[in-house]
Amino acid sequence: MKLTLGFSPCPNDTFIFDALVNNKIDTGGLSFEVVLEDVQTLNKWAMEGRLDASKISYGVLPLVLDEYVVLNAGGALGKGVGPLLITKEEGINPSLIAGKSIALPGENTTAHLLFSLAYPEAKNKRFMIFSDIENAVVDNKVDLGVIIHENRFTYMQKGLKKVTDLGEYWEKETRSPIPLGGIVMKRTFDTVLQKKLDALIKESVEYAFNNYPLLAEYVKQHSQEMEETVMRQHIDLYVNNFRIQRGPEGKTAVKKLLSVYEQQHPGIFTGRVPLFVE
């Protein structure tokens, strides 16, 4: 049986999926048609129900719950891993941010949700592919930008400055790890198949951990930032035990994020279907 599977080309995703999609583990007859796209594209496709299984931002989860269930393995959660609000300006006054132009990596990303939680009055938002945000700030196309992924490790080299760590803000407000993204699968598949894919992703993550710090060619091939030091920084920051199993703490964090979404979008009820594969 072949499943369509989407995830980003970032090192944290290619690291955990390498063994699964490149036949380094026994997949029990499952094969995969892999689609590598930026997270906002994957979010949009999840809203359209295009892929059988996919990485998504938890920020879009309330909009796809009727179609998809969240798997327990492979998700990105943690502490100190949140998006950063950056600028080119020296000593920017936080009280003036609401009037500034802000670049964000997609309307339905967790980064946007966390930014909106920290800066609810900011309305001048411009959504673009995450890898374009640094240069948009450098080139004065926007006043500030919210960066994710590899850009956390490169923005200072371009003379940019951190204004707010949005992950730290979330952790302070909720005392929970930051739920960045999860792996979802269509509810039309039976629970047996959902659990099988979940177990295979867990095995794939464990395989990657067991062979680290070796970097697979699959990771190097697709990394936006080709310097191996940056790839390892990325993996070390974003890949942790939550990737193997979300656990009770992770589930609580996701539910808190959904409650924040409901507060910002009154009338949306996200408790109508089970969230997770059990």
Measured N-to-C along each axis, helices 166-174 and 110-118 cross at an angle, to the nearest 10 degrees, of 70
For the beta carbon of residue 256, count every other beta carbon within 10 angstroms: 17
Distance CA 171, CA 240 (A): 17
Phi, psi of 102 (to 5 degrees): -125, 125
The DSSP element (H or E) to which 147 belongs, if any, is: strand 144-147
- 149 is an active site residue: yes
Distance CA 171, CA 5 (A): 31
- Which residues are bridge partners to 131 per DSSP? none
Distance CA 15, CA 24 (A): 12
Q: Pick the catalytic residue: 112, 149, 222, 265?
A: 149
Residue 173 · residue 117 · CB < 8 Å:
yes
DSSP state of 180: E
Give the active site residues.
Answer: 149
